[in-house]
Structure 1
Amino acid sequence: MPGQMKSVVVAEPKGRWELKDRDVPEVGPNDVLVRVHACGICGTDLWISDGVLTFRDFPIVPGHEAAGEVVAVGEGVTKRKVGDRVGVIMAQKFCGVCDFCREEHPNSFVSAANCANPTLTGVTVDGGHAEYVAVDAGGTVIIPDAVSYESAAPILCAGYTVWAGLRRAEPKPGARVAVSGIGGLGHLAIQFAKAAGFHVTALTHSPDKVETARQLGADEVVADGAALKAAGGADVLLHTNSSHGAVADAMNGLKPWGKVVLMGIGTDELNLPALALTSNSYQVIGSAHNTIEHLVEALDIVASGAVTPVIETFPLERAEEAHARASSGDVRFKAVITY
């Protein structure tokens, strides 16, 4: 499909998200061309565009939460067809020949981090903040008809992360789940945990988020680990914010044999209480995108109406405004750009 398209381009670290005219990407073998309708802004996008995380040279096209429609398929594609509503996941494909890939691991964030030459949407190759993106067909997932493109976008990373983290923790029926941090990840974690039938306690230091957390489904809202313990404690702590310093405090409310699932990325050091960790047999689990099965489950839960992403939408002409507001934390709770 020849022609031009509008695309967000970041020319340099900490640069503006500028709208540029670029060629529509070509569709190679095993690829699909997706007409993007919506793409969320993830915290990782901000770190990459600021140069905090570096995977390729600038200029870059960010974005790994793209949702849209397949408009062309490349040679060899059988699992997707023109007209399919799809989400584009970050981990498109892996090299298949390095030592890690030869162990035949499933598509996950672990594979993305350990493959010698992965293709990662918006990370190692151009991303979804554009009118069109060409990706490997295996790097897409079908979006249920009941889910809008705008609502699907945040689930492709943020929702995927928290649901996969909850599943990884394997809480028992009747477990108490605590969510630390009420933001892009946390507001979804509360809803997913509640939808799964668990007692949910939200931890936040922001008074203005207390009522919001309750509206999202939290049974209780507390400010710290001591208050969490007084409220009955937690079997699972889903840590979703970017401050590792909050983990040790929140663990004061963790019950024996409890599990801490780290999902937020932070630059500060992670210091854990060794005596409490050992004497209570705590488990600390790192988790992001696990198998694609978990993403499919998350989208189905959204389609059921049990989880609703809280988003602010911006037309493509306001991409820099969306970027600036997301960077400042002035978005409740996910910024989504429409294309």
Structure 2
Amino acid sequence: MTSKTMKAVHVPAVGQALELMSVPVPEPDNEQVRIKVEACGVCHGEAKIVDGWASSYPRIPGHEVVGVIDSVGAGVEGWQPGQRVGVGWHAGHGETTGMTIDGGYAEYMTAYQGSVVAIPDGISPEEAAPILCAGETVFSALKNSKSRIGDVVAVSGIGGLGHLAVQYAAKAGYEVVAISRGADKADLARDLGAHHYIDAAADDVAERLTELGGATVIIATAPHADVINPLLGGLATGGELVLAAVSDDPIGWSALDFLGGQATVKGTFTEADSMADAIKFSVLTGTRPVIEVFPLEKAPEAYDKMMAATVHFRAVLKVS
């Protein structure tokens, strides 16, 4: 067993704030690798750990992790020290990274070999980290949708997820409509690749989408029921509304809302098998998250800014 210690930021107990601590460097167990963490994204999922969803406390959060393998446990095949890797939400063996086992708000972490994906050259650790959750979520939403090249695809919400969804959709060959509140995001949306912009504060979203022929797919990334509710009316016949936003609020639809257009509403979530695809597509197309970088010691500040929605657009911890 190692006697070395490392810096880590953990949630000490339910409801308590993030805290910087010195803890032992973990040793890889059977089928695990140890990763020297280079960067870790700060995601809204961390709030659930503070709220009490973790399996035990203290718990080190972080499920958008990029680093380099520095040690392997017994039974590991196909991975070796020196390889550049990433870890997302799915930790393998029924575990959840940063929720039931410790995550990447630390200088080192362990991960089961089945949860690890290779990170290619051509993208920095800080840029790659958010793709392992935020980016992969909207990438999978598009990849698994019924849309085809040239179809109208709308993205509601130009934030941490939405700004990536717009880029993915544009670079995959769709006619992209960005939807947000206020005219101030119109130029940004077009810079990201959107062909159209709808100001939800001034325009009837469903009416504007209908004028474009209706959206084959709408990806809803803004977690507010009053934003999601009107989107259904903007779908083309047989279109899909994909909920990528996390919200506990009732959306407010009735059966009547579904009688006219044969619309489908479905959810999306991170898929372990698609993380490598999302990273590869991002490298090939130059898709990158807009990030604000913090040192590990400022993880509490990064978390607070993420929760207050004042980060532009994704907070990332630079660990080593």
User: 1:179: Cα distance to partner?
Assistant: 0.4
Q: TM-score, normalised by structure 2?
A: 0.93
Name the structure 2 match of 1:33: 34
Amino acid at match of 2:88: I
Contact preservation (8 Å) 1:195, 1:306: no
Are 2:136 and 1:160 aligned? yes
Amino acid at match of 2:230: D
1:263-306 Cα offsets, whole Å, 9 max, x none, are 111010132242242321111111112351x2222101211243
Contact preservation (8 Å) 2:153, 2:216: yes
Name the structure 2 match of 1:301: 281
Name the structure 2 match of 1:259: 240
Q: CA RMSD in A?
A: 1.5
User: 1:161: Cα distance to partner?
Assistant: 0.5
Between the aligned partners of 1:36 and 1:4, the Cα distance in structure 2 is 14
Between the aligned partners of 1:81 and 1:30, the Cα distance in structure 2 is 12
Are 2:247 and 1:246 aligned? no
User: 1:230: Cα distance to partner?
Assistant: 2.9
Paired residues in the alignment total 313
Amino acid at match of 1:249: P
Q: Secondary structure at the match of 1:43?
A: coil
1:176 to 152, 159, 164: 152
Contact preservation (8 Å) 1:236, 1:261: yes
Contact preservation (8 Å) 2:244, 2:268: yes
User: 1:124: Cα distance to partner?
Assistant: 1.1
- Give the alignment of 1:180-199 within 5 angstroms: 180-199=156-175
Between the aligned partners of 1:126 and 1:309, the Cα distance in structure 2 is 25
1:119-155 Cα offsets, whole Å, 9 max, x none, are 1110111111110000101111000111111011000
Name the structure 2 match of 1:83: 82
Name the structure 1 match of 2:310: 330
Between the aligned partners of 1:325 and 1:141, the Cα distance in structure 2 is 29
Amino acid at match of 2:137: T
Are 2:194 and 1:218 aligned? yes
- Gapped runs of 5+ residues in structure 1? 95-117
Are 2:301 and 1:321 aligned? yes
User: 1:59: Cα distance to partner?
Assistant: 2.3
Amino acid at match of 1:131: E
- Give the alignment of 1:95-174 within 5 angstroms: 118-174=94-150
Q: Secondary structure at the match of 1:169?
A: coil
User: 1:194: Cα distance to partner?
Assistant: 0.8
Q: TM-score, normalised by structure 1?
A: 0.88
1:55-111 Cα offsets, whole Å, 9 max, x none, are 3233221110010000001111112111110001211213xxxxxxxxxxxxxxxxx
Name the structure 2 match of 1:106: none
Between the aligned partners of 2:59 and 2:207, the Cα distance in structure 1 is 44
Name the structure 2 match of 1:63: 62
Q: Which moved more, 1:252-261 or 1:240-249?
A: 240-249
Between the aligned partners of 1:130 and 1:310, the Cα distance in structure 2 is 23
Amino acid at match of 2:310: D
- Gapped runs of 5+ residues in structure 2? none
Amino acid at match of 2:206: G
Name the structure 1 match of 2:19: 18
Amino acid at match of 2:216: D
Amino acid at match of 2:176: V
Q: Secondary structure at the match of 2:45?
A: helix
Q: Secondary structure at the match of 1:11?
A: coil
